[in-house]
Structure 1
Amino acid sequence: MRFPSTRLLLAVPVVAGSLALYASQTNVRVAPDPDNAGLKLPAGFGALKVAETGGKARHIAVTPQGVIYVKLNKVKDGKGILVLHSQPTGKATVTGGFGDYGGTGMYEKNGYLYASSDYNVYRYKLDAKGEVAAPAKPELLVSGLKVGSQHESKSIVLDNADNLYVNVGAYANACQEQDRTRGSKGIANCPILDSAGGIWQFKASQTNQRYANGTRYATGLRNVVGLDWNPQDNQLFVMQHGRDQLHDNWPELYTDQQSAQLPAECMYAIKKGDNAGWPYLYYDPQQKKKILGPEYGGDGKKEATGNYIDPAAAYPAHMAPDGLLFYTGTMFPAKYRNGAFIAFHGSWNRAPEPQAGYYVVFQPFKDGKPSGQWEVFADNFAGSAAKVASGRADHRPCGLAQGPDGSLYVSDDSKGTIYRIVYNAKK
């Protein structure tokens, strides 16, 4: 079904001699693709494929002028960041690239573009057109971030007080003496938490900071890929990737089915000094309790004790939440304003149960806190129910960004497709 086109008001300055791709457009009419880019969406919404980048597109940023920046997990043709300029149709063209490093993090704020490799964080000054002024000369903000054999990506976000937050994932599943090994016990006072398994805080405008100069803002977080700053209550929110292999490592305590359904993927509202409890506990969505991990003497029923925060919301297991975005636009109906969109990249380890995820969900919020049941918002990135169940998805949503008109951009790190979701019905 083809929806009526939507009208966009883009405030992009016209610069003499500039490309028409980013010239000012007033009353630009953007229509969804006839098949809504293959996506299943709520009534009134439409989608189009903005571009096919051909790279592993992780997090993305869209400037107030509408320039799209895409962070690639791996360098493609010598570039780790792609630049896309929108056409009047809403489609976009890859017009260049820069940055000789792969990675995940990408964020735009206050006239700067921030990007991360697995080791460092950089920033680039944006000019009045939303263009990076000196792509070959980024400012190095943070260097020497901890990298292990897994969970190496560094997601980033900024607050409104010149602070930069960086995820440093734990390089283990559950801090066992022998990682991911049947019956191996957990290491007491897990040493990984000294340098990983949490969120580190740095200054957003200070160059040449070393990892050792940062502040461990929060701990006990196995791995965070999706994170965002909630403007409603001025607080950091993160999505944790829950631990794996409960049955594989502890078959006497957990069935295959339990292992597929545990633990929850959790959203946490983070304040400085918070501890979410990894590796000592996990959250059981059926029991609605924090459960002591089997590596530390748990049996699937013992509750964890200690000063550990509760999740703000919980979601099905192993779906890999890789993107989080608080929606502040006005294009979508009022119910979406100040709520959160979450991109679930999709599972690999729910066998013998079907795999799950590969969609974008919406979590309603009220007064800065989750309120009400989450719902699937954009589905069928995988291509079919059979491809979801088998884990052989065509596309896997990863990054989220809000356009200056209030549309929602979604990246795909399987084939590199960039999607744009718009609302077309009368509100």
Structure 2
Amino acid sequence: MRWRRRSDTSTKETAMRGFALSILLFVAPACSAAVALDSLSLPSGFHIEVYADAVPNARELVRGANGTVFVGSRDAGKVYALTDAGHEGKPARVRVVASGLQMPSGITFHDGDLYIGAVSRILVLRDIEQHLDDPPKPIVVTNKLPDKTHHGWKFLAFGPDGRLYVPTGAPCNVCKPGKDFAKLISMKADGSDWRDVALGIRNSVGFDWQPGTQQLWFTDNGRDELGDDLPSDELNRITRTGEHFGFPYCHQGDTLDPEFGKGKSCKDYTPPVLKLGAHVASLGMRFYTGTMFPAAYRGAAIIAEHGSWNRSKKSGYRVMTVRLDGSRVLGYEPLIDGFQHDEIAQGRPADVLVMPDGALLVSDDLVGAVYRVSYAAPMPSAKK
């Protein structure tokens, strides 16, 4: 199940969503990080382990200057701090540094402070790593973002220009969203000087700046209710300010919307760099900047695919590698697969984060865990 609300609010649809949520709440407690790990597959030489457990609804990941890993949640309404990972072979210690917030899935760290996206508000915890046991009260940076909760949760990041980048998803499955939605904006760290960065973005929950080019790339979730195989989620690249990526008129760069695409042409909008697959729910993405993984992974985009909720056969439920040569795609292949078996979800990856040693952290909001992926070259087989 991909947990995105739909624009149809009929009694039937509401009942179906309620039933799906009841299944999610029933299944989640029965899952464990150990169960998920037993079913996962990775390329030769890669190893996966539990970095932290007891992190309910773990979503966006960010690392503080002193090594604390912070984790936002969507449904839990909390922000967590993970420390002492691997101490005596145990998972990281988990603290709650903020609670009672509205969908605080998006977090980012800047100049010692932790920024939190909570739908209409951006909050900040000042000097947070010095106060993990007595976290400060959140300070409001801005409270002027749209208050719609449909696609209202955030993914936050500070760019190379020192500005805070914030998406505002479309408040619907598909609609004419209005000037305040379906776009990516940036602002100063104090919440002032808002600027539109890109338009026509249905719901981006992951973006990063490509090393070398410093261009911003982002994932975008395609609309629902066009069947199992349309439209694809997207990996996109911004080449100019104000660029329009098609929503709600054109999907996946080549498919006009049956309602809103009338009289439009897909040629007028920027197509994706890569179609990621229909309903895979592409969320967090980062460029791999470490040196631990083999050379083919360096500079690749790594994407957490949360997994479908509305296909007759599930798609996604994996972490994917997009190997690149500049803007040219060389390959699209799994790094971690097996978060679902026999149409039953055992985990749902939500974000990825490259650590200073080159290992990769992966959050799982179904199990409530964070994993660490590392690499060691396989030993050559002995000659007989």
1:341 and 1:165 map into 2 onto residues whose CA distance is 19
1:262 maps onto 2:230 in alignment: yes
Q: Which residue of 2 aligns with 1:339?
A: 300
Cα distance in 2 for residues equivalent to 1:104 and 1:336: 27
Tell me what 2:173 maps to: 173
Q: For residue 15 of structure 1, what is the aligned residue in structure 2? A: none
Matches within 5 A, 1:52-67: 52-67=53-68
CA-CA distance at 1:214 after TM superposition: 1.8
Residue 188 of structure 2: aligned partner: 203
Q: CA RMSD in A?
A: 2.6
Verify: 1:80 aligned to 2:39, yes or no: no
The question of whether the paired residues in 2 share the 8 Å contact of 1:318 and 1:350 is answered with yes
SS of 1:335's equivalent in the other structure is helix
- 2:93 pairs with 1:141: no
Distance in 1 between residues matched to 2:204 and 2:261, nearest whole Å? 25
- Secondary structure of the residue aligned to 1:316 is strand
The answer as to whether partners of 1:242 and 1:317 remain within 8 angstroms in 2 is: yes
Q: What is the CA–CA distance in structure 2 between the aligned matches of 1:130 and 1:372, rounded to whole Å?
A: 43
User: Structure 1 residue 87: deviation in Å?
Assistant: 2.9
- Secondary structure at 2:241 match in 1: coil
Kept in 1, the 8 Å contact 2:36–2:339? The answer is no
Give 1:240's aligned amino acid: D
Paired with 2:242 and 2:95, the residues of 1 have a C-alpha distance of: 41
Equivalents in 2 of 1:196, 1:314: separation in Å?
A: 23
Partner Cα separation in structure 2 for residue 371 and residue 398 of structure 1: 23
Matches within 5 A, 1:295-310: 295-296=259-260, 304-305=265-266, 307-310=268-271
User: Is 2:92 the partner of 1:93?
Assistant: yes
Please state whether the residue corresponding to 1:371 is helix, strand or coil: strand
How far 1:90 moved relative to its partner? 5.8
* Matched-pair identity in %: 31
Q: CA deviation at 1:148?
A: 2.1
CA distance in 2, matches of 1:65, 1:96: 16
Does 2:255 align with 1:291? yes
Aligned partners of 2:378, 2:110: CA distance in 1, in Å?
31
Cα drift, residue 305 of structure 1: 4.3
Contact 1:119-1:144 within 8 A present in 2 as well = yes
Residue 163 of structure 1 aligns with an amino acid whose one-letter code is: R
SS in 2 for 1:373: strand
What whole-Å deviation, never above 9, does each CA across 1:86-124 have from its counterpart, x for those lacking one? 133564333421213142112234443322112222333
Equivalent residue for 2:242, pick from 273, 278, 303: 273
Residue 45 of structure 2 corresponds to which residue in structure 1?
44
Moved more, 37-46 or 91-100: 91-100
Equivalent positions of 1:2-401 (< 5 A) are 38-75=39-76, 79-88=78-87, 91-100=90-99, 101=101, 102-126=103-127, 135-175=135-175, 190=176, 192-204=177-189, 206-207=190-191, 209=192, 214-246=194-226, 259-270=227-238, 271-283=240-252, 290-296=254-260, 304-305=265-266, 307-351=268-312, 354-367=313-326, 369-382=327-340, 384=341, 386=342, 390=343, 392-401=344-353
CA distance 1:293–1:124, shift in 2 (3 Å):
same
CA contact 2:44–2:378 (8 Å) conserved in 1: no
Cα separation, partners in 2 of 1:115 and 1:90, compared to 1, 3 Å: farther
- Note the C-alpha offset of 1:261: 0.8
CA distance in 2 between counterparts of 1:82 and 1:138 reads 15
| TM superposition shift of 1:135 | 2.5
Once residues 76 and 50 of structure 2 are traced to their aligned partners in structure 1, the CA distance between those partners, rounded to angstroms, is 22
Q: 1:109 to 1:40 in 2, by over 3 A?
A: farther
Match of 2:278, SS state, is coil
Deviation digits for residues 142-187 of structure 1, max 9, x if unmatched? 3221132521111111111111110100011221xxxxxxxxxxxx
Q: In 1, are the aligned partners of 2:283 and 2:304 still within 8 Å (CA)?
A: yes
The AA in structure 2 aligned to 1:422 is S
Partner of 2:356: 404
Aligned residues of 1:329 and 1:337 also touching (Cα < 8 A): yes
SS at match of 1:296: coil
Query: Which SS does the other structure have where 2:228 is aligned?
Result: helix
Deviations 1:174-206 (A, max 9, x none): 21xxxxxxxxxxxxxx3x2301001011112x2
Offset of residue 344 of structure 1: 0.3
Aligned to 1:24: none
Point out the structure with max Rg over C-alpha.
Answer: 1
**Residue 131 to residue 269, structure 1, CA distance change in 2 (3 Å):** farther
**Structure 1 residues 199 and 106, CA gap change in structure 2 (3 angstroms):** same
Distance 1:152 1:375, change over 3 A: same
**Structure 1: 5+ residue runs without aligned partners?**
1-32, 176-189, 247-258, 284-288
- Partner secondary structure for residue 331 of structure 2: coil
Query: Any unmatched runs of 5+ in structure 2?
Result: 1-33, 380-384
Q: For the residues of structure 2 that align with 1:229 and 1:276, how far apart are their CA atoms? A: 18
Q: Deviations over 1:262-289 (max 9, x none)?
A: 1111111123111001001112xxxxx5
Structure 1 residue matching 2:330: 3-state secondary structure: coil
Label 1:375 to 1:139 Cα distance change in 2 as closer, same or farther (>3 A). Answer: same
Q: CA deviation at 1:371?
A: 2.2
AA aligned opposite 1:55 = P
* Cα displacement (A) at 1:130: 7.4
